[in-house]
Amino acid sequence: MKYLITLPLIILHCALAMAQGVCTGNLGENIFISGDFGSGAAPVVLSNPNIAPGYTYTTQVPFDGAYTICSRTSALVGLYPSWIQIEDNSPDPNGYMMVVNGSYEPGIFYEEVVDGLCENTNYEFSADIINLVSVETTDHIEPNVTFLIDDLVVYETGNIPQTEQWVKFGFSFTTTNIQSSIKLSLRNNAPGGAGNDLALDNISFRPCGPTSFIGLDDESSNIFLCVDDDPLTVVADIESEDGASFAILWQTSTDSMNWETIMDNNTSTITHTQFDVGVYYYRYLSSGNIMNIENEKCRIISDILKITVLPDTYPQIDTVCIGEQYQFGNQILESSGIYMESFESSRGCDSTIILDLLFVPENEIIIDAMVSDPSCYEFSDGSISVTQLSGGYGGLSSELLDNQGSPVTNDLSAGQYTIIASDRFSCTEELVITLNQPEEISVDIGPDASVLLGQELLIAPSYSQEFDNISWSSNGEFDCDDCLEVNLLQFNNGYVNVTVSDENNCVASDSLFLTVDEQNLINIPNIFSPNEDGVNDFMTINYFGRSLSSIIQFSVYDRWGNQMYNIENTTVESGQNLWDGYATNRPVSNGVYLYYLKARYINGTVEEISKSITVLK
């Protein structure tokens, strides 16, 4: 198998006055080794690093025109309420950043001189900056930073908003043919006062080049080879706008961190010929000429190519329990031994697995379980939990299955279940457990029924057992709310319900529908003889059961409409006298009289009766 890997590299040229945005291609080593401000155990650097001309260094929260170096803003004494609490912008928990409170007048707050640069080389100057004022704070000045080279303005950030996020700002430029040293500066443009507060980290000055693509057609940077593959050729295709040639220096590594230069190889190709099993990394350094290739301030680092040489033999050791079958490729193994099976790996390599298989005798596994039956009939709140597994060959685990062989956990109904425990050698033990169905409880209140209003009905249900907890409900009146049998005075049509529960709070209930008839409940004779002979001397009222609640009005009138007698808002017993035949303390004459009765029943309904009554002495 032959491979051709191409790594294109295009060198961009631009004048200092034509500075571009941040580099979009590959970068070289960071020349500013102190651009991340270092790290340390102390949260605030105590000594003045002297990197901000015109600014005062402080170990507390900076005032206008001051700065500090710290790992986190929360460590600064007197931190302003408007400032956010952040850490430096790196994975290092002890890393430092520069915190700046802008001066009242614009001025330089960071400056460094870089020597040993290469002529006609593209570089990137960048920094991570964050506005320290919180999003919620209003009416604060936003920082505005200018990047300068040799005191000339080449890039401006514009106003940096309050996003509470780090942002990378920077530009790329090309040195002149006589430029080997430059001064890099950062200037604050915004006025001081409320706001104009920022943090700075990861100041970077690096050689800048184009993107280097490494890999196959799918642009993968990871290549897998078989031990019997053909050598792999990697090509660096370097082009420039004017057709000039560039120097190449190839490097290799086995850990992608420590790199070794491939000596005597300044060509555009190298060949990977190492097919011992392992991982190999490649990259190349490039520069405009052979003199600059040794200067880390002038060269670009390509992407990394990773080559993995896969083994063709894989040893495997496994142990299983006697009685089990072991599937190995197309083989079914049932005894100890060494077995081989050929296959093609997912990477297309012909490989062989050598299996050293050992069958061991069963070592009893002991299963201890806690079992709880369902609390009530046909409930699903039973449980089976393994409390301890012991024995076997270690690595014990268990699974609970229902009678269909499906895994289950909690909320179990009555039935048979199996705990299957296994050890690391697939030796198994089964424990069959049955959850019992509790006895069903029941109550039968009887069929639907009908009664007359005022009639008391005896209800005597049949029960599956004795119950201590009984409750009744209806729209009527019970003589007992928690008795086995009750007398009910029902007021209206509706259901009568009884509910019982046992000591496990298992519940049963039943109901019947009771129809209440309100017809012909009151009976008043149509004649009486008030002659004091002791027989039928009074006009009486009779009503059914306890149906009548009260008399709203009872009035008697003669044939000309004169009121002879009247009572209102009174209660009477059935059979009680309503009228004795007197009017204004004098007995009335024989004849026919009219009466009006307005009565209220126990269910609240009202009936009005108008009839005649004959007085015969």
Reading the block at residue 129, the tokens are: 């900056």
Strand 586-587, strand 462-463: pairing? unpaired
CA distance to 25, 190, 207, 299, 472, per residue, from 120 (Å)? 17, 34, 11, 12, 101
Tokens 């009260």 belong to which residue?
A: 550
The fold adopted by the segment(s) 222-310 is Immunoglobulin-like (2.60.40)
Domain 522-615 belongs in CATH node 3.20.20.450: no
Start-to-end CA span in the chain (Å): 139
Are the CB atoms for 117 and 146 separated by under 8 Å? no
- The domain 29-207 belongs to what CATH superfamily? Galactose-binding domain-like (2.60.120.260)
Lateral strand order in the sheet of 107-114: 107-114, 182-188, 144-149, 152-159
Q: pTM higher than 0.85 for the full model?
A: no
Alpha-carbon 278 to chain mean position: 41
**E-only strand ranges, 160-301:** 167-174, 182-188, 197-207, 222-226, 232-235, 238-240, 247-253, 260-261, 269-272, 278-287, 300-301
Q: Report the relative pairing of strands 449-452 and 507-517 from DSSP bridges.
A: parallel
Please provide the DSSP assignment of 405-423 as one string.
S-B--SSB-SEEEEEEEE-
Residue in the block written with tokens 């008043």: 524
Reading the block at residue 291, the tokens are 């003199």
User: Two tokens at 410?
Assistant: 């909690």
Asked if residues 247 and 209 have their Cβ atoms less than 8 Å apart, the reply is no
pLDDT computed for residue 242 by the predictor:
57
User: Mean pLDDT in runs of 10 for the chain (617 residues)?
Assistant: 34 39 79 87 94 91 94 94 95 94 86 84 90 94 92 92 94 85 88 86 85 51 86 74 72 93 80 92 85 84 89 92 90 94 83 93 94 94 96 94 93 96 94 95 95 95 91 94 94 96 92 94 94 92 94 95 94 93 93 96 94 93
| Structure tokens, 33 | 């080794």
| Sequence-ordered list of residues with C-beta below 8 angstroms from that of 300, at least 6 positions apart, any chain | 9, 25, 26, 27, 28, 207, 208, 209, 285, 286, 287
CATH (residue range 443-517): 2.60.40.10
- pLDDT in the model for residue 296: 85
Closest CA to 386 of 435, 420, 363, 411: 420
